[in-house]
Structure 1
Amino acid sequence: MVIDITDQDAVFKRVEELARELESRAPGIEEHVKRYQGEGKTLRWASKKFDEYFKNQFAGFGDNWCMPVVDAAAERMKVLGFRAHGEAMGIDQQLQRDWLGSNSDLGSSEAFTMQMAGGRAFSLVHPADSPDKAPSVTWEHPETAIVDTDPVTGIDRDGLVMWRDDKYDFATFYTDSHFVKLKREHGQMRFENTEKMPQNGGWELRDEDQPFQMHHLGEVPLTEIRNKTLLDDTPMSDIAGVAALQDAVNLIWAYLMNALDQASQPARIVANADVPQVPVLDKDGQIIGSQDIELDELLKEKIMFIPGQDARIEEWTAANLEAFSKVISQIVEHIAAQTRTPPHYLVAKMINTAAESLNIAEAGLVSKVKERILYASKGIKKTFRLMAAARGATPQRLDALRAGTIIWDNIQYRSEAQMADVGTKLKSAGFPTEYVVEKLVTDPVEVARVMDMVKRERMMDPFLVAEERMRQGV
């Protein structure tokens, strides 16, 4: 929906629509992010008595498989640079300087983690001009940012970033030509107040002197980086299916620890004997009677009394607890299979594992990372394009960047021996040196540095120098 940016009421109404949509997304995103952080992973207590006895002792205990499932892929997504369409080699040096200068190497890494944990992440190229024209880029949490995209053209129509302090909700509304700063008092953002809320959501301008500020970026400065979707408008979280399996593991841990307390050590039974008693004292300390020991105290000591004649003491041997650990191991294997996470990321059992075996084990993860890179590329390309627009790029340059290529770090780990073997085979097959270096080093900056070394080394070889002169006819 395109609105007239000078129509204040229309802007307020549109901001309220985006704010409500953002608020509706928040619970699901918050749940997945908390799962990634490990919150809510406490043991599901097997019984009320177990909770009473051991709640403090095992507080916070539980497995968290959501974090390694996300990190295994996110840590392999690293942007090294951008190459405009029509350029065969190297990277755009100005964009590279701006990317590193705005700390986007760090910010994008956090965004990729949030992309897979929460389903979305956002980048914001700030439209306000800086003194040196260098673009300022921040990376926004999915609970605070939203972008509306035209479902037909795929072009972003507008976007909103929201945050709050002790008294106000603040927001900045972005279109492809303007941005507007707004605020409202607390409480109006909540759904329970929507019936009493005015249609404009109670928003007001933060800056009356400059209500609608222009920018020259030509696109909505806010960009969404999405995870996988199913041809709809709802990105999926990579840990949505892991949470239930993780709960099952923690439930079994609770039963196991309950069994460790109740059955792993021998339990004693005293048959045909009266339950021990303790004296009952009055306020002066005089014995006025007696009472049986509390049943809970006997259970803590693993003792059961059965009254009767001819007293005797017996015991039950410890239980076999391997069944619990086998089930936990099997569930962890299911987590690895369903999320394409290599088993050695989840279970530390690696002894003299061959490099080829590791490559096979990580094949699923490599495919998954390639897929996630594909989902993220649209948003990262737009971010680079906005950074170039912030410096006043020409329409021709922006078109070249629109069809450009993101240079990613190698997503498959290789040992030095494997890399040397690949390089030797490629060179033997006739590939040029620079192609081989690109395959092995990946980082365009390092590729250029290595090629400079190669050239200097060749210049020091008199035979190669003579051969080059003969070739040039000198």
Structure 2
Amino acid sequence: MATMERALQLVTVLEQELVNRRTDIDRHNAYYRGRGRLRYASDAFSKYHGDRYRDFCDNWVQVVADSPVERLTVNGIQAAGETEADKELWKVWQVNGLDADSQLGFLGAVTGARCFVLVWGDPDDPDMPVVTFEDASQCIVAYEPGSRRHRRAALKRWQDGGEDFATLYLPGEVWKFSRPVMYGEDSKSPAMTEVDEELKRWKPRELDDEPNPQPNPMGVVPMVELPNKPSLVGEPMSDVAGVIAMQDAINLLWAQLFTASDYASFPQRVILGADIPKLPVLNSEGVVVGEKPIDIEKFAVDRVMMFNGKDARIAEWAAANLTMYTGLIEVAVGHLAAQTRTPQHYLIGKMANLSADALLAAETGLVKRVEEKQLWYGQGIREAARLIALAQGDDRKADALRSGRVLWADAESRSHAQLADALVKLKGIGFPLEWLAAKYGLTPTEVSDMLAMRAREMDADPVSEITRMMVDGRTPEPAPPGQDEAPDEPVEEPAV
């Protein structure tokens, strides 16, 4: 069991690493929400137009991040040695609302490079653990040296009201701390600064209904990391990180297009060889006593101006070619699509009588991107399922789930006609109906309901028993002699 000093040391170290990660996480989240800072190609452009386009963003980051998440759907979890998904685990998944919260977690991993799953028992309901997806800005997991899977500690830190809270998860116990939130740094005396430093330190959080530290009955750290695009060395990568530079370029091109549209999108006429017109200044008697320049803006609004002079002539400047900007924007979006493996029809929005096969080919990169995430996220979800079994006290199931698998919805997008045709052909070569129903996209619960409905329909049909035997490969037995046989009809003798 760790001592108080050791627990506080771990909290301090993990918190510092979490603070270091927050810069990139907050930046990526800001760009996802369209709040990235607009960058300019020159100081002069920023000086004159910076305020005008400050809040503008042509947000492609959100499309890139959302495109794989909308195809990441968990349909169930299957333990090793089982032929169907675990219904008890699916009940825990549904009760905790993870069919919806998992989407939030996957989006957090795509933008923030990782997300976390926390599992803890509910004292009021031992059979129903509490499972939550956690954001990368609040959680961190520390691993054993040289390992990417063996967890040694985890920290969750968050703010609520006027206090910061921190919970340290260790294999044997759970420590809870809190401290006041410090708002701002004003000029203070050395004595008050020392008081602030003392207040900034974590203090054990005293709770009436549980001890601190609290024992961890699972025996392992109950938080699991779901990394996005991990590598053998270095940190996981966000899908948003590589999009930001091109997003800045696209926003700049739009700002320049808007400026050109305002200033140079119409033919401009200019008067050459003439002085600026002036108006005479009259005294009270109507005598000209001077001159004053005319209000140019008034003539620009009235669109009427008169010039005198024999050398005065009119010249014209052609309008700016704005299609140059739109062409560059389309090229930039095309680069963005290639770099992130996002289908062009997701970004450009142009479709011209594409066949189903052409659409599938266009989405191949996105499908592979989703399948990669299924692989890496699936490892974390499988470990979270193991933690659920440990929280329920089922060590046998927990051991089986170590080598189990996550059942994902199909990452490819097909029409119902295509999918039905493929399933009919698979049925023809012997694939079982239960497997075909799962391939169609039904959850394990829906598959069970479908099989029960099918059984009821067959029971209600007098021919169903023979059909069911033929489906199962059995031969109907002949009826015993004298039973279920129609009596011979009497044969009438022909009249003579």
TM above 0.5, yes or no, is yes
1:387 equivalent in alignment to 2:376: no
Change (3 A) 1:401 1:314: same
Change (3 A) 1:230 1:77: same
Q: C-alpha displacement at 1:137, in angstroms? A: 1.8
Change (3 A) 1:70 1:133: same
Q: How does 1:167-182 map to 2 (within 5 A)?
A: 167-182=162-177
Write the deviation string for residues 230-266 of structure 1: whole angstroms up to 9, x where unpaired.
Answer: 2124110101111101111111112211211222101
Write the deviation string for residues 390-447 of structure 1: whole angstroms up to 9, x where unpaired.
Answer: 2221x22210011111111111111111012101211222323333223223422222
Any conservation in 2 of the 1:50–1:258 contact (CA below 8 Å)?
Answer: no
Q: C-alpha displacement at 1:319, in angstroms? A: 2.3
Separation in 2, partners of 1:214, 1:330:
58
Q: Match of 2:264?
A: 263
Write the deviation string for residues 73-99 of structure 1: whole angstroms up to 9, x where unpaired.
Answer: 0111111111111001x2111111111
SS at match of 1:64: coil
Separation in 2, partners of 1:148, 1:303:
75
Separation in 1, partners of 2:38, 2:28:
16
Separation in 2, partners of 1:228, 1:156:
19
Any conservation in 2 of the 1:176–1:217 contact (CA below 8 Å)?
Answer: yes
- 2:339 is matched by which residue type in structure 1? Q
- Shifted more, 318-327 versus 123-132: the winner is 123-132
Separation in 2, partners of 1:156, 1:216:
16
SS at match of 2:351: coil
Q: Match of 2:435?
A: 435
Q: Match of 2:237?
A: 236
Q: Match of 2:14?
A: 18
Separation in 2, partners of 1:317, 1:302:
18
Write the deviation string for residues 53-72 of structure 1: whole angstroms up to 9, x where unpaired.
Answer: 7944x553221111111110
Q: Match of 1:456?
A: 456
Q: Match of 1:110?
A: 104
Q: How does 1:53-202 map to 2 (within 5 A)?
A: 55-56=51-52, 58=53, 60-88=55-83, 90-127=84-121, 129-153=123-147, 154-187=149-182, 202=201
- Shifted more, 175-184 versus 39-48: the winner is 39-48
TM-score by length of 2: 0.83
Asked which structure has the greater CA Rg, the reply is 2
- Shifted more, 324-333 versus 40-49: the winner is 40-49
Q: Match of 2:483?
A: none
SS at match of 1:10: helix
Any conservation in 1 of the 2:278–2:292 contact (CA below 8 Å)?
Answer: yes
Separation in 2, partners of 1:77, 1:229:
18
Separation in 2, partners of 1:303, 1:33:
52
Q: Match of 2:360?
A: 359
Q: How does 1:314-353 map to 2 (within 5 A)?
A: 314-353=315-354
Separation in 2, partners of 1:371, 1:304:
68
Any conservation in 2 of the 1:410–1:442 contact (CA below 8 Å)?
Answer: no
Percent same amino acid at aligned positions?
36
Name which of 26, 30, 48 aligns with 1:30.
26
Q: C-alpha displacement at 1:206, in angstroms? A: 1.0
Any conservation in 1 of the 2:38–2:252 contact (CA below 8 Å)?
Answer: no
Change (3 A) 1:215 1:128: farther
Separation in 2, partners of 1:105, 1:49:
48
Separation in 2, partners of 1:200, 1:413:
55
Any conservation in 2 of the 1:70–1:117 contact (CA below 8 Å)?
Answer: yes
TM-score by length of 1: 0.86
Write the deviation string for residues 109-163 of structure 1: whole angstroms up to 9, x where unpaired.
Answer: 1010111111011121234523354111222221111111124342111111111
- The answer for unaligned runs of 5 or more in structure 1 is 281-286
Any conservation in 2 of the 1:269–1:315 contact (CA below 8 Å)?
Answer: yes
- 1:104 is matched by which residue type in structure 2? L
Change (3 A) 1:430 1:307: farther
Change (3 A) 1:214 1:325: same
Q: Match of 2:227?
A: 226
Change (3 A) 1:142 1:277: farther
- 1:159 is matched by which residue type in structure 2? A
Separation in 2, partners of 1:288, 1:159:
88
Q: C-alpha displacement at 1:449, in angstroms? A: 2.3
Separation in 1, partners of 2:198, 2:231:
33
Change (3 A) 1:385 1:303: farther
Q: Match of 1:215?
A: 216
- The answer for unaligned runs of 5 or more in structure 2 is 186-192, 282-287, 479-496
Separation in 2, partners of 1:43, 1:306:
44
Q: C-alpha displacement at 1:27, in angstroms? A: 0.2
Separation in 1, partners of 2:306, 2:143:
72
Separation in 2, partners of 1:24, 1:306:
67
Q: Match of 2:475?
A: 471
Change (3 A) 1:79 1:302: farther
- 1:234 is matched by which residue type in structure 2? E
- 1:168 is matched by which residue type in structure 2? E
Q: C-alpha displacement at 1:279, in angstroms? A: 9.3
Q: C-alpha displacement at 1:186, in angstroms? A: 3.0
Write the deviation string for residues 137-193 of structure 1: whole angstroms up to 9, x where unpaired.
Answer: 222221111111124342111111111245332111111221111012334999xxx
- Shifted more, 354-363 versus 45-54: the winner is 45-54
Equivalences, count: 458
Write the deviation string for residues 308-350 of structure 1: whole angstroms up to 9, x where unpaired.
Answer: 8622222212122222111111111111111110111101112
Change (3 A) 1:268 1:34: same
- 2:437 is matched by which residue type in structure 1? V
Any conservation in 2 of the 1:43–1:60 contact (CA below 8 Å)?
Answer: no
Separation in 1, partners of 2:291, 2:402:
88
Separation in 1, partners of 2:298, 2:50:
15
Q: C-alpha displacement at 1:278, in angstroms? A: 7.7
